[in-house]
Amino acid sequence: MENSKLLAKIRKFGGYMSGMVMPILGVFVGWGLMAAFFIEGGWWPNPHLAEMIDPMMKYVIPLLIGYTAGYNIHGRRGGAIGAFTTMGVILGTDVVMISGAMIMGPLSSWVLKKFDNFIKSKTKPGFEMFIDNFSLGIIGAFLTIFGYLTIGPSVEGLVSILSAAVEWVTNQGLIPLLSIFMAPAQVLFLNNVVNHGILAPLGFVQAEEMGKSILFLVDTNNGPLLGTLFAISIFGKGKAKKTAPMAMFIAGIAGIGEVYFPFVLANPVLVFATMGGLAVSLGLLVALGGGLLGVASPGSLIAIFMMTPKDAMLPNAISIIVGFIVAFLIGMLLLKIFGSGNGDQDPTADIVVGGSKVKTVDDVSNSENENSIDERTPIKKVVIACDSGMGSSAMGASVFRNLLKKEGFEDIDVENSSANNYSNDADMVITLNSMIDRAKLSSNNRENMNFVPIENFLKPENYNEALRIVKTRNYTEE
């Protein structure tokens, strides 16, 4: 159980990191498209329009990350001081300060939040605006100077060291070894920790120097995972075999890679299929000169090729296709040698984390919730939570919204969010078994909040327990 809690905390940390980036991924996409079209060597080179590319990456994107990180911690005041202090690390260095923004945004907003909580009960009526403005200004100015003099140069030095290490690894042809860490991290829902916290910041530094970076294709390269799913769809058994083709479509076209993870968790030996395919794919990217301009989000084939520079189109296509084939062949051999496990079992059921099975719906709703939740309180707001709050939870919210509509509960608000950063006014949080601990860590121990773990966001029958709770708490006499 301790391992489960530790993994939940690691995932929560990763969720915080991805929560700084996920809300502004559309900006990354827009920047990537402009770069792909207008830079020298792009599809339609335009020196005049290309002048916008560098300033947007150096100023706009770090400032947005700083604001978003601050907003996640302390609302608009946190966002304001997050952006303000991020400017200090931007101006104090010569490298893209994405990592600096991911430090200053949370740090400054956390300090301001602590001060606001401390001073709130001590502020005399009529002085609220005075205190608010001057506290943000003074704390923000101090931390901006602090970031300019210390955090910025420190991050720049660290980025320089890591960039040199990445360059050495690339020159030595060792990039494929990243697959050893990335494949297991994906199926344990730790991919955002690695991708947004380590690979993406280094990737942008590399892309600024070389025009593209392979690091953007370590996590988002979905050729290998599609190859693994294809092997399951051909040589698997039972429900896994039947559901794998739909998972391929969702992961490959919609770019929601989370649908692949449970298949490997249900048959862990298959991680070696994805690992092998990714290693070969990365090796080809190094040999052929592939890479992306920026983060492909969502991680679909469409997004990958939209973020591909003109000179990397063929290398990227070859590496993804070969990665798919290699993963398929390895997956085929593994399934023939080791079998499919319990082929009749849903691949997303009974997810095991850290050696302990996460509590089931009945465990949570009957043992914990019954004793602490007033069932007379109606449910007005439901949050469907996934890792990033953008992909699978958005589809789950649509499924549950339609179910509520059929039952006559159209007035209940249903939104999708991250498992560690959702609205605290929610009455019910629905998330995957493997994320229920993370969701609880983010609840601030609020009473009358139901936590309902499910096995699959897309299957209506998985929401039966949630519907039962809604009917119980929203029941009114005719």
Active-site positions read 386
With contact defined as beta carbons under 8 Å apart, do 436 and 364 qualify?
Answer: yes
Rounded Cα distance between 73 and 15, Å, is 13
Rounded Cα distance between 460 and 437, Å, is 23
With contact defined as beta carbons under 8 Å apart, do 313 and 264 qualify?
Answer: no
Comparing CA positions, the residue from 273, 258, 301, 261 lying closest to residue 390 is 258
Distances (CA, A) of 371 to 365, 452, 461: 9, 15, 26
Q: Over the Cα atoms of the chain, what is R_g?
A: 24
Pairing status of strand 450-454 against strand 428-432: parallel
Rounded Cα distance between 341 and 345, Å, is 9
- Helix, strand, or coil (residue 343): coil
Comparing CA positions, the residue from 25, 34, 61 lying closest to residue 309 is 34
Distances (CA, A) of 227 to 221, 231, 333, 338, 400: 11, 6, 13, 18, 30
Chain-centroid distance, C-alpha 208: 24
Residue 334 CB neighbours (<10 A): 21
Residue 63 CB neighbours (<10 A): 20
Distances (CA, A) of 297 to 155, 262, 304, 390: 25, 21, 8, 10
Q: Enumerate the H helices of 339-442 as residue ranges.
A: 361-362, 370-372, 392-406, 436-441
With contact defined as beta carbons under 8 Å apart, do 100 and 93 qualify?
Answer: yes
Pairing status of strand 356-357 against strand 352-353: antiparallel
Rounded Cα distance between 151 and 145, Å, is 10
- Amino acid symbol at 99: S
Comparing CA positions, the residue from 207, 206, 211, 338 lying closest to residue 272 is 338
Rounded Cα distance between 391 and 244, Å, is 18
